[in-house]
Structure 1
Amino acid sequence: MSERLEDIAVAMVANGRGVLAADESTATIKKRFDSIALESTETSRRDYREMLLRSDEAMRNYISGVILYEETLFQKAADGTPLVEIIRKSGSIPGIKVDTGAKPMPYFAKETITEGLDGLAGRLAKYYEAGARFAKWRGVIAVSDDLPTWGSVKANAHALARYAALCQEAMIVPIVEPEVLMDGAPGDHSIERSEEVTEWVLRTVFEELGDARVKLEGMILKPSMVIDGKKARKASVSEVAERTVKVLKRTVPSAVPGIAFLSGGQSTEEATAHLSAINTIRDLPWKLTFSYGRALQQEALNAWNGKAENVAAGQRAFTHRAKMCSLAAKGTWKKDLEKAA
């Protein structure tokens, strides 16, 4: 495929296809494996991700790109085939998580700053050589009546812009991910507060991207949806969709080719229903799709259960969920389709 940033970005949000976030850190995937009583080793992590990547129907029809953890980018399948090659042969694009995690921000209680800029240019060159054509960096924004602070919003937006510029210099498409948390402490904020903070954050992020001279046509935005806190009242699906689109219209330039939402603590079905409702709102300038981790993988993980004899069952579960997300990216998902699985 084309090596132009703009063409890669467009391919990542192709109609009905989205991004599989398989970039869990070693610590995070251990927690996932603990839920099925499976020891997290280099081999078990490889086997799990290979199971997903060899789900031919899902990968060819519904997945446009795969975000990998550094370990996975350089791993080979059980038969010796590089995992990156499996991704490419399916028609999908390999990507890489490049931040080193959100760390406590000095003098800003309960807020974080994402690290990983030091030495990033050199790492990007190595990742490009290994086959990565896009990258991801996540900035985390806590929400309460008093949070976030301007210092936190500004610092995380600036880091996202610096990362994005370094990616484009390395001919890698940046996924810019400012996550406004729905499940942070105390997690009882209203959807109105979520809307206010999300608009503030996105406006600041695009100001910083502009200052850093990032080419908007060669990037993807990965925002959280406008949704109330985990412990707050549940807004309706239509309200989430309407408020999310309203904020995007106010803040995201039309030059950005696509928006791939994170699931951010939503249940599998919630993330699917919200995405579908968002995509029923027509005449928007961007493609709106998914970049889900747990919301794409949880059913497959449970079906696989760490056992070789369950690989086919895990792949069926992954294919079903990817298909549901694909329908949601077209605005045609229906709850009844879940029962038909």
Structure 2
Amino acid sequence: MTHELASTAAALVADGKGILAADETVPTLTKRFDALGIRSTEETRRAYREMLFTSKGAAEFISGVIMYDETIRQESSDGTPFAEVLSSQGIFPGIKVDTGAKPLAGSPDEKVTEGLDGLRDRLSEYRSMGARFAKWRAVIRIADALPSVACVSANAHALGRYAALCQEQDLVPIVEPEVLMDGSHTIERCEEVTGAVLHAVFNALFEQRVVLESMLLKPNMVIAGEKCPRAASVEEVAVATLRCLRRHVPVAVPGIVFLSGGQDQLAATAHLNAINRLPGPKPWKITFSYGRALQDPAMEAWQGREETLRMGQEALYRRAHCNGAACLGKYTAEMEAA
């Protein structure tokens, strides 16, 4: 199955394509619905996912969709399982498999992601339901004395164990070590921490015998904390991010699918475009795995109403189109008004 997994990983980062992260937990999606006055029920969440997954033309720029446990068990209005809805368009179904970040024992200001118990059986079930790739997110916080070695080590080890189990169950693992934007740290401090985290993660992947050609990395961009007195420019973010990746990500990895990490949709697209426009070697495909940076305009346009469903789908298509262009370094501000 190694060849099949490598082929799937490569297809997920095909030219001009990226991944839609639609794996919010029920409480997280409910919070976003509440902000727009949309009632959160199993049916409204299902209808929202169906709107996203059936957006006409989006498959031109979306290679895969990460779902949550509730979502992969749901069906479209005509009774077709969502995994089949996606596969029929040439989109790979994916699944979030961690059970969330919990306080790290001995360091309550830090978190470790849980979910390894029973993971083999869950992965087997998701594979039988149509999933072809999975995702596990670790969160790393920057502060004066953080992150601790214990936090980085615990999260890197969990990512390694998760990725090995995925490949055993014929799923491509997306490995997501997110260094959070929260805080007042500088872009230089973010680069330092991101480099250390990536180093630890790839050590853990090596120790767990993960085949790098059959996985994808989902890192943060190197960016100043949201409370930093001086925000970094688009060019500074691009240069620092690419430098960090070149120093710490093996060339065997087929693709890097950035998380948006709290950036708004325009910043996330502009940064991705700038990274891809930089000169010099880029041994991996560099694309996106965005959640809110793809979904927010669609949700705001939809507003939970049947009569505005088409507007929501058009908003998703527009963002996917812009980000698809950014994967190729061909995004322009004029595309936003098109």
Do they fold alike, i.e. is TM over 0.5?
Answer: yes
Aligned to 1:108: 107
Q: Deviations over 1:181-231 (max 9, x none)?
A: 002xxx100001000000000000000000000000000000000000011
Question: SS of 1:110's equivalent?
Answer: strand
Cα distance in 2 for residues equivalent to 1:313 and 1:32: 18
Equivalent positions of 1:12-161 (< 5 A) are 12-58=12-58, 60-161=59-160
What TM-score results when the alignment is normalised by the length of structure 1? 0.97
Residue number in structure 2 paired with 1:313? 311
Counterpart mapping for 1:160-239 below 5 A: 160-183=159-182, 187-232=183-228, 233-239=230-236
Aligned partners of 2:35 and 2:301: how far apart in 1?
A: 12
CA contact (8 A) 1:56 1:90 kept: no
* Superposition map of 1:4-19 within 5 A: 4-19=4-19
1:335 Cα offset (Å)? 1.6
**1:296 counterpart residue number:** 294
Provide the C-alpha distance between the structure 1 equivalents of 2:194 and 2:17, rounded to a whole number of angstroms. Answer: 25
CA distance in 1, matches of 2:84, 2:121: 23
Partner of residue 247, structure 2:
250
1:170, 1:12 → 2: CA distance? 18
* Counterpart selection for 1:265 from 249, 262, 265: 262
What is the aligned length? 335
Deviation at 1:81, TM superposition (A): 1.2
Cα RMSD (Å) = 1.0
**Helix, strand or coil: the match of 2:108?**
coil
Q: Secondary structure at the match of 2:243?
A: helix
Q: Secondary structure at the match of 1:137?
A: strand
Provide Cα deviations, 1:90-126, integer angstroms capped at 9, x if missing partner: 1110000000000011110310000000000000000
Q: Sequence identity of aligned pairs in percent?
A: 57
Runs of 4+ in 1 over 3 A off after TM superposition: none
Mapped partners of 2:57, 2:5: distance in 1: 27
* Counterpart code for 2:225: G
* SS state at 1:76 partner: coil
Distance in 1 between residues matched to 2:3 and 2:91, nearest whole Å: 14
Amino acid in the other structure paired with 2:95: I
Q: What residue ranges of structure 1 are gaps of 5+ in the alignment?
A: none
Gaps of 5+ in 2: none
Paired residues of 1:143 and 1:181 also in contact (CA < 8 A): yes
TM-score (norm 2): 0.98
AA of the residue aligned to 1:11: A
Residue 35 of structure 1 and its aligned partner are, at CA, apart by: 1.4
Counterpart CA distance in 2 for 1:176 and 1:325 is 21
State the AA in 2 paired with 1:218.
S
Distance 1:174 1:276 in 2: 25
Q: What is the Cα deviation at residue 3 of structure 1? A: 7.3
For residue 74 of structure 1, report the CA deviation from its aligned partner: 1.3
Distance 1:300 1:33 in 2: 12
CA distance in 2, matches of 1:252, 1:51: 36
